[in-house]
Every structure is written in C-alpha cells, then in structure tokens.
Amino acid sequence: MSDVNSDTNPSPTHNKNIRTKLKILALHGYRQNGTLFSGKIGSFRKAVSKYAQLVFISAPHKVYTDDGAGDEDVRSWWFNAEDNTYSGKCLGGPAIGFEVTLRLIEDVVKEYGPFDGLMGFSQGACLVGLLAAMQQKGYLPYTFKFAIFASGFRSGSLVHKGFYDEDIDLPSLHVYGESDSIIPKEMSESLINLFTKPIVAEHSGGHYVACSGSIKDAYLDFLHDRYEDIIESEKLQKKD
C-alpha cells in the first residue's frame, strides 16, 4: 500500500453517521510524493479546511535519475517513455505502470474511502481526468462526485486515447496558469472542453497550485456548493 497521510486521522475506522467535511483524495504531480505535495500546498490545505479533509497518497512508481539514483523517493503514476520517464507533452507513447496505479487507487478507496471528490496537480490532474472519463464510461468499481484540477491536461498515451471520446458529466473546477510553460494553458483547455459544465479559474502564474485572491475564492465557492449538494443533502435524508 502506498504511503497515506491526511489533514486528519485517515484511519478507515470512522463514524459514518457524523460527516462534517467532504473527503478528497489528493494526487501529486510527477517527481513528487504525497508528503512533498502536502507540504507544497499548505496554503490550499488551509484555505479549504473548512469544507474538506484531504487524503494524500504516493504514486507506486519510483523515479530514478540518469545515474540510477533514487534517494529523493519521488514518484510517477505511470511512464510514457521506454526509459521509464514521463513528460506531459509526449504524444503517442505508452502508459507503463498505469494498471498498477489503478489497482493502488482502488485499494486506497476500499481502505480509506469512499471519497466525495478527487483533486490532482499536473500528472495527478491528468490522472484525475482519466478516472473521471473512466467513471463516465462505467469502468470504475467506485464513484466520486466532483473533481478539482490544477494544471490538468489530457494524457497523450495511445492506450488512453479512447477514454476521451465522450463528454464527462461531473462537477469540475479547473485552475491553471497563463504563463505555465510545463503544461501550457492550451493543454489545460483541451481537458476542460471534455466537461459539460466546467468552472474555470485562470491565474497569471506558472506551474503550481495557486491559492490566493480570486483563485482561493474559486476553490471556496466550488467546495461550498459541493458541500451543500453532498453533506447537507445527507443530513436532510437522515432527518427523514
């Protein structure tokens, strides 16, 4: 099982009768891990803490440097080159290790879920998009009700091409940087176009999880609406 950490106790033993926050599975970018990602997005975690409990996991595949070193314990959700590297701009490559990642997330959902939503950054956001597309087609053994993307994009791997052939009917928030050179905004817009009712928030910065000013407001507005849809409706059902 991948390392799991959370803003609160991620133990699978929880009281399902008391729910005060949305539960979100957070997926890191390429050459990160769950702990590093959690540390890098402290402002985001603090901003959304009113509405959400974030659970962070690490991808299953270790990334090694050219000399074979891997001391940093940085990870990838899959590789799209035969030398076990990954680039979001790569088109037509493989998806080495993707099935392992699917099994990992299924196991995490079984042990620590269910999750109300998924959130991802960069390669993690690409993965969230793939999972949303797979859910739309009925391919997943679990469900989630919304998705948040930071620097998201479509996978260029050949085996993923077929997942993007229909619209995705899922509440979604897409945040990206106008000056992002790693994942240019055109790549994020290509993913956004798959969703039927996307909410889009653009910032002037680059490749990171922005969380200030209007971007922070966009997160809070989106999560407030999801909170009303999910948590409040559950409370009303229990009263009935």
Report the 3 state secondary structure along 108-149.
Answer: HHHHHCCCCEEEEECHHHHHHHHHHHHHHCCCCCCCCCEEEE
Q: For residue 160, indicate whether it is catalytic.
A: no
Say whether the peptide bond before residue 114 is cis (omega within 30 degrees of 0): yes
Answering whether pTM is above 0.85, one says yes
Containing 227, the helix (H) or strand (E) segment is helix 213-227
The whole-angstrom separation of Cα 199 and Cα 216 is 13
Q: What is the pLDDT of residue 65?
A: 74
Q: What is the pLDDT of residue 9?
A: 53
Q: Name the catalytic one among 38, 76, 122, 155.
A: 122
The whole-angstrom separation of Cα 164 and Cα 194 is 7
Q: What is the pLDDT of residue 14?
A: 47
Q: For residue 229, indicate whether it is catalytic.
A: no
Q: Name the catalytic one among 58, 180, 188, 203.
A: 180
* Cβ 125 vs Cβ 152: under 8 Å: yes
Question: Mean pLDDT of successive 10-residue segments in the chain (240 residues)?
Answer: 63 58 97 97 96 98 75 90 95 97 98 97 98 98 98 98 97 97 97 98 96 96 95 73
Q: For residue 180, indicate whether it is catalytic.
A: yes
Q: Name the catalytic one among 61, 160, 174, 207.
A: 207
Q: What is the pLDDT of residue 10?
A: 53
